């Protein structure tokens, strides 16, 4: 028995060893081949070095191919255009393209980039290009530039009142649009409001002016201080008392909402009527002999 068991154990061990050898061979066959260094990396490797240099043809990681390549001019022009608009907003006199580029530290840029920047300025909705009247042909270097505000030619109280008087509708003017061409207009608006020449709607948070309308000072009348004191002494009855007095005088209160009556009215459940069965007379009189009951004649 011992010899038979030993033979079986030895046979089992041989089977396990052969299976392990097959698995190792399969893993080696499936493993990807190791990359061989390129000719350029082999020749340019430092003496004594063992690590090959990465091939330059390998694409960089995290590259988004759907986006246009950065040429160095597009993004900078768009970002600097906002600074140019903000700078022109603070200038009362027209500025040349060289003045704008000087503020943006772009006078050392190549001429083609400067020309591209000038073309963007001339197409910008908040920048106005003024051609040189002394020249018959204009180039990208000629002319001057000024800020084009949302509401043009309004920079003082007289111009603001004139602009409001020319309006053909009753819409108000947003103060943020006024500030685009007149940044310090808050003080003038407050003065015109005190003179009863402007109607101003202010924000609840900080009290700043939000909308303005034209007002007529001739319609304003000062109330006598004695009348203000007398009015303050008047005891105004409550809302319920006023409603009761109006109802007693057969008057309809303005505060009475007919929708509240419908909501407060008691709901009456409507009973569903049962459908009555129709028991009309039979009109098939010519078939009475066929419908006659003959059950009593059965045997």
Per-residue pLDDT of the chain (299 residues; tens, 9 = 90+): 456 777 777 777 777 777 766 665 554 544 454 444 444 444 444 444 455 554 555 555 555 544 444 444 444 666 788 899 989 988 889 999 999 999 988 888 889 989 999 999 999 999 999 999 999 999 999 999 999 999 988 989 999 999 999 999 988 999 999 998 888 899 999 999 999 999 999 999 889 999 999 999 888 888 999 999 999 998 888 888 888 888 889 888 776 666 666 777 777 777 777 777 666 666 677 777 777 777 777 76
- Residue 24: predicted pLDDT: 56
Question: For residue 212, what are the β-bridge partners?
Answer: 173, 200
Q: What angle do CA 176, 182, 187 make, to 5 degrees?
A: 85
d(CA 122, CA 145): 8
CB count within 10 Å of CB 121 equals 23
Which residues of the chain are in CATH 1.10.10 domains?
74-147, 157-219
Buried (b) or exposed (e) across 16-34, using 16+ Cβ within 10 A? eeeeeeeeeeeeeeeeeee
- Residue 50: predicted pLDDT: 52
Domain spanning 157-219, CATH class: mainly alpha
Global pTM reads: 0.49
- Residue 23: predicted pLDDT: 64
The contacts found for 218-225 with CB under 8 angstroms, 24 or more apart, are 220/196
- Residue 178: predicted pLDDT: 93
- Residue 60: predicted pLDDT: 53
CATH annotation of 74-147: 1.10.10
d(CA 72, CA 84): 18
d(CA 20, CA 14): 10
H/E stretch holding 295? none
* Residue 24 near residue 31 (C-beta atoms within 8 A): no
- Residue 77: predicted pLDDT: 65
One-character DSSP codes across 213-269: EE--GGG--PPPHHHHHHHHH--PPPHHHHHHHHHHTT---TT--HHHHHHHSPPPP
**Who's near 209: CB < 8 A, 6+ residues apart?**
175, 186, 189, 190, 200, 201, 202, 203
């Amino acid at each position: 028995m011992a010899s038979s068991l030993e033979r079986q154990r030895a046979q089992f061990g041989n089977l396990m060893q052969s299976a392990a050898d097959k698995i190792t061979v399969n893993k080696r066959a499936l493993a990807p081949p190791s990359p061989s260094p390129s000719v350029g990396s082999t020749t340019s490797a430092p003496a004594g070095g063992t690590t090959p240099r990465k091939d330059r043809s390998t694409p960089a990681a995290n590259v988004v191919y759907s986006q246009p390549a950065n040429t160095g001019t597009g993004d900078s022009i768009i970002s600097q255009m906002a600074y140019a608009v903000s700078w022109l907003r603070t200038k009362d006199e027209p500025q040349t393209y060289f003045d704008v580029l000087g503020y943006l530290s772009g006078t050392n840029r190549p001429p083609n980039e400067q020309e591209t920047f000038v073309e963007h300025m001339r197409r910008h909705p908040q920048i106005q290009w003024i051609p040189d009247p002394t020249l018959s042909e204009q180039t990208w270097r000629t002319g001057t530039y000024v800020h084009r505000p949302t509401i043009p030619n309004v920079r003082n109280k007289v111009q603001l009142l004139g602009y409001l008087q020319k309006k053909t509708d009753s819409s108000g003017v947003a103060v943020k649009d006024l500030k685009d061409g007149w940044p310090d207009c808050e003080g003038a608006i407050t003065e015109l409001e005190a003179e009863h020449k402007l109607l101003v709607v202010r924000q609840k948070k900080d009290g700043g002016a939000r909308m303005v309308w034209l007002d007529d000072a001739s319609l304003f009348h000062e109330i006598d201080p004695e009348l203000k004191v007398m009015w303050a002494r008047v005891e105004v009855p409550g809302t319920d008392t006023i409603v009761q007095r109006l109802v007693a005088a057969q008057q309809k209160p303005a505060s009475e909402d007919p929708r509240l009556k419908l909501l407060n009215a008691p709901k009456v459940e409507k009973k569903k009527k049962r459908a009555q069965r129709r028991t009309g007379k039979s009109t098939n009189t010519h078939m009475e002999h066929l419908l006659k009951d003959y059950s009593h004649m059965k045997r």
